Every structure is written in structure tokens, then in C-alpha cells.
Chain A
């Protein structure tokens, strides 16, 4: 019997195709069963996103860039407005600060790393960790490179400072503001009646953010009290600071100020053991007042320091490296005062600042550089007092940008006994070393 093969094949083909398609639809129908509640899908995603965000929010990245144009009265002058002007140079553009700060805050613990990146290079500003006890949340321990806990101007953020630089005395005694050490901080939480008191105290290498050069550790402490009135129209603060430290001397010669047989002040040598500690001791008081009144917010800030500073014959600045040569000990004092007026509710702010640094209070005027008896050393340029009057105006463009125009008028103590051909080093007259700074700051 002849089989109707082609027809069967056709039927088979269509049957297979039909079955295949049916199965496909059925499978699809099974895949697209009853729709689940969309919130069941969204909720875990949102929860995960919230959890991720909470972790990310612990890391804060902030920073600022300060671009300056500066003009000095005289080319090549020594200056505390961000360093000396190069030989033959009386104006310059520079990146004064380029800071980026990473802060990880896990409530009771914190780690901070801050770098300074400018055309001069890259340096560390902060590198510390801080732990707060969980019971009273009053005591914190901090270790690493951090601001020295002395006075008010050191810890005042450079991005918020109303003048381009800190006072001469602060720059001289605390170069770079930072030091390497460990510190405890005591301040009760905001809900406590004792919250208005804060104590920071610790031991530091004393060399700034640099490698330690001796075994001597310096104690630095600051006690602060501050409150605002209930009307929030008046705020005050007062603090006391103490520094007790020194460095190991590398020679056996130690010079201190005396009045010789002729009544002339100069340095007399005494012999000490090599490695003996040269005393570095300061006391300071600081005060701040803020008043919100008809003309806007007025701020007054002032600080006074005095003490004993070890240095060299030619420098009264604090060390940032190992000492070289004989040690010269000087009694000093100095102060600064800011008057800041915010003009009504405008972004304009007027600044007047006056600071004085007398690196050697045992000698003044025409006694500086006077000849002394044999064996003693006469005083010199490192013993000259400086005062600086600064006038400035700040314009806060927005939350990121600030424009500053500031003029520093520097006056040095004069002595007819230190005359040099160069006007840069001559101290018989007041040097022409005023500096104008125009700054553009971007903060993020």
C-alpha cells in the first residue's frame, strides 16, 4: 500500500510547529504569572541604598585653593606674608595654599588626612586619629600630626582667617602650626552645663610636622571657656595656654642675656653639657568677643604671649630640624588684635589687624648691636622688634568663593648700630617692606 508520506511529513511538521509554539506560550504564561507587589522589590533596593549612603556619608572630602598676587614695596625683601621675596623680585603670583582634607567620622572615632599641594611641593598638614570614650562622650584621645593646642590663631582655619597670614609671633614660635604628638581633649557634650569649658593638652615632638631630633617631648596645653548670651547677640571666649619644652643642645655653649660692666646688654656664654635641654617656655592668654548689632556682626580677637625662646645668634624662630651651632636664649613677648566688621547682612567684611613681636625684651632701640665687653656677644638683627598694621577687605562671593584685598604695613624697631649698604638688611631706618595681597579663594 502506498504511504501518503509527503502528506504525513507535512502534518508532522505542522503538528511539531504547533506544539512548539503552544509550549512557548505556555512557558511564557508561566513566567508572567500573577504580578508581585512592586514594593517587595523596591524596599530591599532602597534599604541597601540607604545603608550604602550611610557608609559613604562618614567620609568627607573638603579643601580649598588660595591663589595670590602680591606686591612688595622693595624687591627681595624678607616677609612674613608667605615668605621672602626672591632677589630682585617685588611682585609674584603664587598658590598660597592648596589643601585637600579627607575626614572619616564614625561618631566616636575619626581619622583625618590633610595635604597641602602647591607649586612648592606636596606636604602633610594633618594626619591623625581621634577616639572618644563612649560613656560620657567627654574625653577624646588624638594622636598624629595636628594643630598645636595653644591659643586661638593656630587652630583657626586658614580658609576662614580674615587676613592672609597668621601673626608674626605665631608664625615664628609655631612654624606650620602643626606638630607630631599625642593629646587629650576634655569637653562635656552640648547637653551638659559644663560644655562651655574645653581643655586640650598633650606631649609633642616640638619640631613641627617633621622627624623628631631629640628625646625631649614638649608639653602644650590650652584651657578655654566660652559662651553665647541667651539672645545670641553677644558671644565671648577666653583662654589660657602653656608651653613647656625645649631641645637638646648640640654644643656646650649656651648664651643668655646679661648687662655687662658698662651697662650694655649682650649675650654671655655659659658652659653646659652637650645634650642639655635648652628651655622653651611660653604662657599665653587669648580672648574673643562677637557682637550682633545694628551695623552687623562685629568681632574682636586678641592674644598675648610671653616666655623664653631658644634660638641661634641669627634666628629667634622655633626649630623644624636639628639645632646647628650654639644656643641663644631670649625672653620675648608679643600680641595681636583683630577688629572685624561684617557690613550689615552684605558679603562685605572690613578687617583691621595689629600685631607686635619683640623677640628680645631685654634690649631695645639703639642698644641693639652695641659693642659689649670681651667674651660676650652683641645683640643683632634677631633681637629687633616688629609691629604690623594690616588693613583688609573680604568679599564673600558665595559659599565657595572669597576675594581678599589686604595691605600689611610693617614697622621694624630701628638701631643706628646696624647699618648696611643693602636696604634689605639695614636697620637704621624702617625698611620699606610693606606687602599688598590680592587673594582669590575657592573652598569646597
Chain B
């Protein structure tokens, strides 16, 4: 009995030390698409591991990866794969790169709710975003000029849209480049002829998500977690955390938490697509 009491006392005394060993102090910077998710991860983790301090900043995938290269962030959150030039810069600096996929995201094409167009093919989207199609009447809508809103070139979403929807063609010269996803949502909600693209988690009542067809109009699919999970929605992409091997041990509890059932439940709740 005495032995049990001593053991129990030892465990109780060591508990704060054990908990604090799980604490993580780090900076996450980069993708605006990942931003809401990273914020929820950090809030939930900081509650579980007192003493942790995790700061989360947006700015775009390119900004996050630049910060990782220059050593001013611990984790670069990214909605695109790291570029070869970025990888070579890290290697030239003697840094070992690690990558973890944290979730998937569906890219939603959004228009103003007053727009009667509700579905477009990939070819029509390419035409609109490259500036070849300039009026909604050309795609079955009202006689109204199309105003294209895009993210800036530092955004992983900008790259993903260009590669997967626009066949790598360049954006229209008249496209308005917005610094953040929130700005795209706000602009589209306030402009009747506007069109833009955002991650699924940014959909709100002020904008309408279009159904998209990647088989020349045979079938159209609406963006949702279910269609992204079932891979019937064609514009989905992985979201990554990039970090250096030298801090892998330090942030392991956070990464383990994100990949756990609890972390993936947060993914689902925030409107992203879980890994499993």
C-alpha cells in the first residue's frame, strides 16, 4: 500500500513535466487556404498541451516557403508542392526538408449570388480566366461584363488554378489580383459580374459556388467535402506542411495531433477533406 502511494505521488509530481514535454512552440506561415485550418489546429493543440505557443500567419504558399528558406518560420503551410528552385535553395543551405500532408482541399469557383450561371465546363473556365471569354452572355448568362478576381502569384491556389483548370495558360491581363482569399470572397460578393476561386472552407452565404465539368459538359459536380472525398469533384489538391529535419522532434507532438483522429475531425469540421 505504501509502495502504491509512493508510486502514485511520483506520477502526480511528474505529470506537469510529462505534459510540458508535449508542448510545442513554433511559427506557421504561408498558405491562406491552410490558414483557418492551422488556426484551429493550434487552438486545439494549445488547449491540450499547456505552455505551447503556436503563431499562425498567412501571406501565400510562396511567402511561407521563402520564410522557411530564410529561417524565419518553423513550418511553411502550402497549398502547392514545393518548387524545384525552392528545394535546391534549401539543399544549398544544408537544410533537410520534411513534408507532411495535413488534409485535402477542393477549389471552388465562386460567382455573385445574383449571377444566373450555375455551372461551367473546364474549357469555359479557362476561357474566362485567360480573358478569351469576357461577357456572361457567352456562357449562358446575362449581358454583363465578366470581372475576374484572382489571388496573387505568391499564392499556391494561384498556381493550382493555373495548372489544373487553365492548362498552364496565363491569367487575363485584366484579372484583378487580390492579396488574400478573404479579399476575393468580399469582392465577388459585392460585384455582380465577378468570378473568383477559393478553397472550400472559405465558402459563405455571400457567394455562390459553381458546378464544374471536366468532361466537356457530360456531368457537372458541385464542390463539397463528400464530392472531394469521393473524388467526383475534379479540382482537389493536398495541403502540406513543410519543415526542416532539425526541428522534426520539436514539432512531432503537433504533427501527430494533426494526423490523429482528433486532428482529422477538425479538418472535417472546418470544411476541408480529411486524409482518410
Task: Give the B-binding residues of A (Cβ under 8 A).
Answer: 160, 190-193, 228, 230-233, 235, 290, 292, 297, 342, 345-347, 349, 395-399, 401-402
Taking a contact as CB atoms under 8 Å apart, the answer to whether B94 and A345 are in contact is: no
Identity of the chain B residue whose Cβ is nearest the Cβ of A229 in the assembled complex: B84
Task: Give the A-binding residues of B (Cβ under 8 A).
Answer: 71, 81-85, 87-88, 91-97, 153, 163, 168-171, 245
Identity of the chain B residue whose Cβ is nearest the Cβ of A235 in the assembled complex: B84
Taking CB atoms, residues of chain B closer than 8 Å to A401 are 94
Taking a contact as CB atoms under 8 Å apart, the answer to whether B83 and A232 are in contact is: yes
Identity of the chain A residue whose Cβ is nearest the Cβ of B175 in the assembled complex: A191
Can you name 7 extra interface pairs (CB under 8 A) apart from A228-B85, A399-B71? Answer: A191-B170, A228-B83, A232-B82, A235-B85, A297-B88, A342-B91, A399-B94
Taking CB atoms, residues of chain A closer than 8 Å to B82 are 232
Taking a contact as CB atoms under 8 Å apart, the answer to whether B94 and A397 are in contact is: yes
In the assembled complex, the Cα of A233 lies from the Cα of B171 at a distance in Å of 23
Taking a contact as CB atoms under 8 Å apart, the answer to whether B169 and A193 are in contact is: yes
In the assembled complex, the Cα of A116 lies from the Cα of B142 at a distance in Å of 66
Taking a contact as CB atoms under 8 Å apart, the answer to whether B91 and A233 are in contact is: no
Taking CB atoms, residues of chain B closer than 8 Å to A230 are 163, 168
Taking CB atoms, residues of chain A closer than 8 Å to B169 are 193
Taking a contact as CB atoms under 8 Å apart, the answer to whether B153 and A347 are in contact is: no
Taking a contact as CB atoms under 8 Å apart, the answer to whether A396 and B91 are in contact is: yes
In the assembled complex, the Cα of A227 lies from the Cα of B133 at a distance in Å of 27
Given contacts A290-B84, A297-B88, contact A396 B93 (CB under 8 A): yes
Taking a contact as CB atoms under 8 Å apart, the answer to whether A297 and B91 are in contact is: yes
How many pairs, one residue from A and one from B, have CB atoms within 8 Å of each other in the complex?
56
Q: How far is the CB of A229 from chain B (nearest CB, A)?
A: 9
Identity of the chain B residue whose Cβ is nearest the Cβ of A230 in the assembled complex: B163
In the assembled complex, the Cα of A396 lies from the Cα of B81 at a distance in Å of 24
Taking CB atoms, residues of chain B closer than 8 Å to A228 are 83-85
Identity of the chain B residue whose Cβ is nearest the Cβ of A228 in the assembled complex: B84
B84 is contacted by which of A192, A232, A397, A399 (Cβ under 8 Å)?
A: A232
Taking a contact as CB atoms under 8 Å apart, the answer to whether A398 and B83 are in contact is: no
In the assembled complex, the Cα of A346 lies from the Cα of B245 at a distance in Å of 10
In the assembled complex, the Cα of A230 lies from the Cα of B81 at a distance in Å of 10
Identity of the chain B residue whose Cβ is nearest the Cβ of A346 in the assembled complex: B96
Taking CB atoms, residues of chain A closer than 8 Å to B88 are 290, 297, 342
Taking a contact as CB atoms under 8 Å apart, the answer to whether A191 and B171 are in contact is: yes
Q: How far is the CB of B275 from chain A (nearest CB, A)?
A: 21
In the assembled complex, the Cα of A187 lies from the Cα of B241 at a distance in Å of 33
Taking CB atoms, residues of chain B closer than 8 Å to A346 are 96
Taking CB atoms, residues of chain B closer than 8 Å to A292 are 84, 87
Listed residue (A231, A292, A342, A345) with the most chain B CB atoms within 10 angstroms of its CB: A345
Taking a contact as CB atoms under 8 Å apart, the answer to whether B97 and A345 are in contact is: yes
Given contacts A396-B92, A399-B71, contact A297 B170 (CB under 8 A): no
Given contacts A230-B163, A290-B84, contact A345 B153 (CB under 8 A): no
Taking CB atoms, residues of chain B closer than 8 Å to A347 are 91, 94-96
Taking a contact as CB atoms under 8 Å apart, the answer to whether B94 and A191 are in contact is: no
Q: How far is the CB of B159 from chain A (nearest CB, A)?
A: 9
In the assembled complex, the Cα of A290 lies from the Cα of B91 at a distance in Å of 14
Q: How far is the CB of B45 from chain A (nearest CB, A)?
A: 27
Which 5 residue pairs spanning A and B have beta carbons closest together?
A399-B93, A396-B94, A347-B94, A193-B170, A230-B163
Taking a contact as CB atoms under 8 Å apart, the answer to whether B170 and A231 are in contact is: no
Taking CB atoms, residues of chain A closer than 8 Å to B83 are 228, 232
Q: How far is the CB of B169 from chain A (nearest CB, A)?
A: 7
Q: How far is the CB of B50 from chain A (nearest CB, A)?
A: 31
In the assembled complex, the Cα of A399 lies from the Cα of B68 at a distance in Å of 12
Listed residue (A190, A230, A401) with the most chain B CB atoms within 10 angstroms of its CB: A230
Taking CB atoms, residues of chain B closer than 8 Å to A342 are 88, 91
Q: How far is the CB of B160 from chain A (nearest CB, A)?
A: 10
Q: How far is the CB of B262 from chain A (nearest CB, A)?
A: 30
Listed residue (A231, A233, A399) with the most chain B CB atoms within 10 angstroms of its CB: A399
Q: How far is the CB of B73 from chain A (nearest CB, A)?
A: 14
B81 is contacted by which of A191, A231, A395 (Cβ under 8 Å)?
A: A231
In the assembled complex, the Cα of A351 lies from the Cα of B48 at a distance in Å of 49
In the assembled complex, the Cα of A182 lies from the Cα of B47 at a distance in Å of 62
Identity of the chain A residue whose Cβ is nearest the Cβ of B171 in the assembled complex: A191
Identity of the chain A residue whose Cβ is nearest the Cβ of B162 in the assembled complex: A230
